[in-house]
Structure 1
Amino acid sequence: MTSAGHVQSETGQPYVGLRAFRQQDRGLFFGREREAREIATLWQADRLTVMYGTSGVGKTSLLHAGVLPFLGSDRVDALPVGRVAPDPALLVSTAPVRSVYTLSLLSSWSAAPPAELAGLTIRDFLDRRPARVDRYDDPIPTLISIDQAEEMFTGAPYQESDLEEFVAQLADALQANAGLRLLLSMRQEYLASIVPFERVLGQGSRSWFHLLPFRRETALEAIRRPLDGTARRFGDNAAELLVDDLQTVTIDNDQGERTVLKVSGVEPVQLQVVCSALWESLPPEVHEITVDHVRLYANVDRFLTGFCRRMLKEVAERHNVPEGSIRSWLKRAFITEHGTRGTAYEGLHQTSGMPNAVVRALEDRHILKAEYRAGARWYELQHDRLIAAIRHTDPETSLQAARTALSRAQWAHARELTEDAVRTAEFDDLGVRAGAEAIFGDVAVGTGEPETARRHYDAAAEMFAVLQRADGVGRVLAAKGRLSLKLGDFSEAVSALSAAVARVPGDTSAQTDLARAFWHVGQPRAALIVLNGALAVTGETLLDALALRGAILADLDQPKAALRDLDLVRQHQQPATLAARALALALAGRFDAAEQEAADAIANAGHDGPVLLRAARVHVILGNAGAAAALAARAVRADDPALPEHLREQARRLLPEPD
């Protein structure tokens, strides 16, 4: 016991995580005092009490850590919680039994060898126990319970034949002992299965209790109170923020539309998963868990995604089914195109193509839940919150989808997918965070937020550097350089792109952009060196690099070399390439062809300064001084793109002298 009167767990963890609470965990079990009291009262009062609820709502935990400790051993004679799932090991070297359910239940109550229990009925076993009385010598009630009682109805055919005998033995024991009380704890989808037996078991005295998820106030108690025996506590609004997150569900449909839902209850299994993971994520020196800690470490989606990964891996290994196949099946069978929960009914051997043994295993691990409808058993995901966890189990998949959205200029969707990847990644997964920052930068470029883009690119570069990922650093610096190129910050573009090419020397796109940056700062020969290197090492025809080298060679009055490149890109000519080819043709003395191509370039030039200047130079060579001056004037005023400074001076020389 701690000084606060709370029992610590064996590991010092105040939250039990995925497993159910045990009786020794009662000092950590909070938020269910009302339910424990009501069930204890019903159990003592009625011959039959049925507690039911969905999978993961906490029935087993409530029974062990809430109800049994509340009763007290001096007021009732409570046997250990029983189970009836037949264990084949119990039947080895055991004489034939009248009911395997009976043997399983008696084995839950006694450590005696199965052979000694095989011939006993439930009444026989109970009659052999010494009668217990209170301090007034009055008999005290004998309480028996069966947890996961739905196991009576989920066995193989040979077990189903034992069910009637088992129920008859229970009824006989209840009738023979006026103080005997039975509690059945079961999933609510099996309620219809117990109805035919409730009269014979209850004998006119029966009650039902529906266990629901936590309410907001009880969820807060279940979060805060386990810390009473530790050196930590929740600060103002921190636990409330955690509950808000547990009650918020985000749904994405196939069109990228997002819906945010607020649910009223909090699933106990989800609360334990998240709180356990939060506790383990906190630095050792943290004593007060603040709102900032919750925001930083209590990523509900990431924790639930980790939970899904572990459960799918367990099921995949146990049943020898590829994990990817299970994940794809879950998406196909239980998530609609609208991003909501779908349903699938259980067939004789398979559910929507998946073996029923695998489906039942997923139900046991709180991924799926089932209910009976129209005579069939239907499955769905345990909670809306698992939709995102199933869809985005692999954060890298989300990042790849975000990159696809970027390629389609779907900026908002790319941002949302990237946010999903960050939410579902492990906190210390720096690779995912670095990739996400790079995508956030690309999104900011697309939405016209250059300063935001630079911040994201800088953050991504730092993370990739920590990971010693030179390729990642290079890609981010190349993106930052292209942004500077676009904004007209050519010196910064040269710096960023030079650093990028040094780290990723095989990135010919970055080399082409670096050459373009050199040209803009008035270093065309440096640009040619970069382009020559890029074109020499690749076996591909790099149209952009060829077009740019041809244009620069034309600007440098080298028509033969320029035409050699420009002739290779004639099928993909843009106005800039047309104007460069026109200039090269004029320099080579092919005036008619030059005049025609210059006219084509001018027709589509718009406010492109370099195109207009090259066309002006063509007209100078053709002897059309007036046309050349007009085009040069337009080139000086152009802004899409504007002329680099070294070409602007060249254009001014073509203007007539002022009077």
Structure 2
Amino acid sequence: MTPYVGLRPYRPTEHEVFHGRSRESREVATLWQATGLTVLYGASGVGKTSLLHAGVVPRLDDSRVDRLPIARIAPRDHGPGNPYVMALLSCWAPDTEPARLAELTVSQFLREIRPTRLDEYGDPMPVLAAIDQAEELFHGRSSLGPQQRELLGQLAEALAQHDRLHLLLSLREEFLYMVIPYERAFGRGSRTRFHLLPFTPEAALEAVTGPVADTGRHYAPGAAELLIDGVREAGLQDDHGLHSQLHFGLVDPFELQINCAALWESLPDTVTEIQPEHTRIYGNVDRFLTGYCNRALSTVAREHGVGESDIRMWLRRTFITEHTTRNTVYEGIDQTQGMPNEVAHALVEQNILRTELRLNLRWYELRHDRLIETIARLETPDIYLRRARRALEHADWDNARRYAREAVRASAVGDPWVRGDAAEIFGLIAMANADPDEANRYFDEAAASYATEQRFDGVSRVLTAQGKLALAEGDRTVALERINAALSYAPADPAAQLALAQTLMQSGVRAASAVLRSIITKLPPHLIPQAEELLSDSA
């Protein structure tokens, strides 16, 4: 079971694996209990919901405070009563009949459904209420404007009438200005704001290493730091081939969570100590963002009846400039640069786009610079793998390595077929560069991946390569063992047959030449020169 929750927010029951936010959790819990209004704000994906559920709530003492369930305003147009008020009260009292809630204002609810509770000394407890994603209170379809204003008025009335009520609003920072007109009424003279920022590098290290403490795995020195550096850095290339490197001082929790969860799921089961090499192979954030974007775009396309390729082209054309920087565009009445506004809204919810309100217009841009390369990437993993193998044929080791890494980055999370091909390519590069230990390590990984996928031709290729590697090292016994194993997976594999003949010839077996002559006519063209050279040498 993974100790990282992936893309969903943390739950209150996951407090033990929620790390890196101790200070923020403690401060928000204190502010919430001490002030009439606390506004928690931050960028989309910075972890506000997780902080509330797994950081703040577990720090509250239920014997001293009366905490209402954390609410999210998700109004529905049908049913009795004001849909915004109903959405709030339904979160606070999910077991109460809707018809009963429809009769109540917020103040009436607190008097009749949620009466004052007393602590052990007989004193009234403070009542803590939180609304997550509270931006939904302040924007939406214009037809619901009066109903939104009614709920905001009811909240102000309730806070005025119930002096022990403490309200926390959590929302995206671009909507903060919309709360300002209500702060005085909501806070009753006691109000504060808390800006939730991305992780510092130190907090990020705690967020990476803390959750694995009881899993039987641990990070070797430098491995977690390398994982974090991968999130803090991004390389860009513009249309003219110019490269630039971006370095971020803080660490995006959204990207770090993607990276950690996907790394964990991608690691072989036998790994107990996560080495820096594991983070290099499996922990590249670009690869995981690609997999995430693929799934997010597929979901949005399916839910809104728009072609996935159309969304991809729209994102590239609209939000990436010719200099490979983020572009901003404003929302039209029904469409944004030719795409229905509903699709843009959905991409905000999927953390692909972010919004900012300026001069009463909503502007969109890619959520993070890191997404520029991800969105701009057109090729699929198999295209990169073909390029890598072509580079191998020309002994272009650097490009072979680069394309194999790009294939891994472009793959969806946990694609074993890509991992197998890439590992085989890395092994062939190491073999060509006289590093047998590294070559065999990659070959073992590739063989395991191929076997899982039942790609026995791949298993045969890797075992043949290991046999040739052993032969080059002078170990004919291991060479014969590996090549015979390769032929057991693919008896007609010409490369394995040729390697067997070569091994037999070097072992002094007289029948080796006859074996070679019997298969030479069946060999593919690129192997015939090697076979003829072997026959010539044996003459």
* 1:42 Cα deviation after fit: 1.5
One of 356, 374, 380 as aligned partner of 1:389: 374
1:50 aligns with 2:39: yes
User: Structure 1 179/301 Cα, relative in aligned 2: closer, same or farther at 3 Å?
Assistant: same
The equivalent residue for 1:325 is 310
TM-score by length of 1: 0.63
Letter in 1 for 2:18: F
* Superposition misfits of 4+ residues, deviation over 6 angstroms: 400-406, 410-415, 435-441, 457-464, 467-470, 498-501
* 1:438 Cα deviation after fit: 7.6
One of 207, 216, 223 as aligned partner of 1:222: 207
Q: Does the CA-based 8 Å contact 1:392-1:420 persist in structure 2? A: no
- 2:213 is paired with a residue whose SS is helix
Q: Does the CA-based 8 Å contact 1:395-1:432 persist in structure 2? A: no
> Could you list the runs of 5+ residues in structure 1 that have no partner in the other structure?
1-11, 445-449, 476-497, 505-509, 524-659
One of 48, 60, 76 as aligned partner of 1:71: 60
> What per-residue deviation string (whole Å, max 9, x for no partner) do you get for residues 476-503 of structure 1?
xxxxxxxxxxxxxxxxxxxxxx999956
* 1:52 Cα deviation after fit: 0.7
The equivalent residue for 1:132 is 117
- Distance, in Å, in 2 between the alignment partners of 1:316 and 1:233 is 39
User: Structure 1 39/439 Cα, relative in aligned 2: closer, same or farther at 3 Å?
Assistant: closer
Equivalences for residues 489-638 of structure 1 within 5 A: none
The equivalent residue for 2:26 is 37
The equivalent residue for 1:272 is 257
> What per-residue deviation string (whole Å, max 9, x for no partner) do you get for residues 403-454 of structure 1?
9999xxx99889755542333335655468748988999xx9xxxxx9669x
1:85 aligns with 2:71: no
Equivalences for residues 51-450 of structure 1 within 5 A: 51-88=40-77, 91-92=78-79, 94=80, 97=81, 99-111=82-94, 112-128=96-112, 129-392=114-377, 394-396=380-382, 398=384, 416=402, 419-425=405-411, 428-430=415-417, 434=421
* 1:197 Cα deviation after fit: 2.1
User: Structure 1 292/107 Cα, relative in aligned 2: closer, same or farther at 3 Å?
Assistant: same
The equivalent residue for 2:11 is 22
* 1:144 Cα deviation after fit: 0.7
Letter in 1 for 2:219: F
- 1:13 is paired with a residue whose SS is coil
- Distance, in Å, in 2 between the alignment partners of 1:102 and 1:167 is 9
- 2:72 is paired with a residue whose SS is coil
- Distance, in Å, in 2 between the alignment partners of 1:500 and 1:415 is 32
Q: Does the CA-based 8 Å contact 1:418-1:440 persist in structure 2? A: no
Matched pairs, number: 474
Q: Which has the larger radius of gyration?
A: 1
> What per-residue deviation string (whole Å, max 9, x for no partner) do you get for residues 617-647 of structure 1?
xxxxxxxxxxxxxxxxxxxxxxxxxxxxxxx
Q: Does the CA-based 8 Å contact 1:474-1:501 persist in structure 2? A: no
* 1:162 Cα deviation after fit: 0.8
User: Structure 1 170/287 Cα, relative in aligned 2: closer, same or farther at 3 Å?
Assistant: same
User: Structure 1 260/503 Cα, relative in aligned 2: closer, same or farther at 3 Å?
Assistant: farther
- Distance, in Å, in 1 between the alignment partners of 2:520 and 2:83 is 71
- Distance, in Å, in 1 between the alignment partners of 2:228 and 2:522 is 49
User: Structure 1 368/499 Cα, relative in aligned 2: closer, same or farther at 3 Å?
Assistant: farther
* 1:220 Cα deviation after fit: 0.9
> What per-residue deviation string (whole Å, max 9, x for no partner) do you get for residues 182-212 of structure 1?
1110011111222222222223221111111
TM-score by length of 2: 0.76
> What per-residue deviation string (whole Å, max 9, x for no partner) do you get for residues 72-109 of structure 1?
21221110001112034xx33x3xx2x32111000111
- Distance, in Å, in 2 between the alignment partners of 1:372 and 1:359 is 14
- Distance, in Å, in 1 between the alignment partners of 2:177 and 2:519 is 70
- Distance, in Å, in 2 between the alignment partners of 1:141 and 1:33 is 23
- 1:245 is paired with a residue whose SS is helix
User: Structure 1 514/466 Cα, relative in aligned 2: closer, same or farther at 3 Å?
Assistant: closer
- Distance, in Å, in 1 between the alignment partners of 2:188 and 2:519 is 84
- Distance, in Å, in 1 between the alignment partners of 2:210 and 2:426 is 41
Q: Does the CA-based 8 Å contact 1:392-1:421 persist in structure 2? A: no
Letter in 2 for 1:84: I
User: Structure 1 502/267 Cα, relative in aligned 2: closer, same or farther at 3 Å?
Assistant: farther
1:466 aligns with 2:458: yes
> Could you list the runs of 5+ residues in structure 2 that have no partner in the other structure?
462-489, 496-517
Matched residues, percent identical? Answer: 47
- Distance, in Å, in 2 between the alignment partners of 1:386 and 1:85 is 29
Q: Does the CA-based 8 Å contact 1:301-1:389 persist in structure 2? A: yes
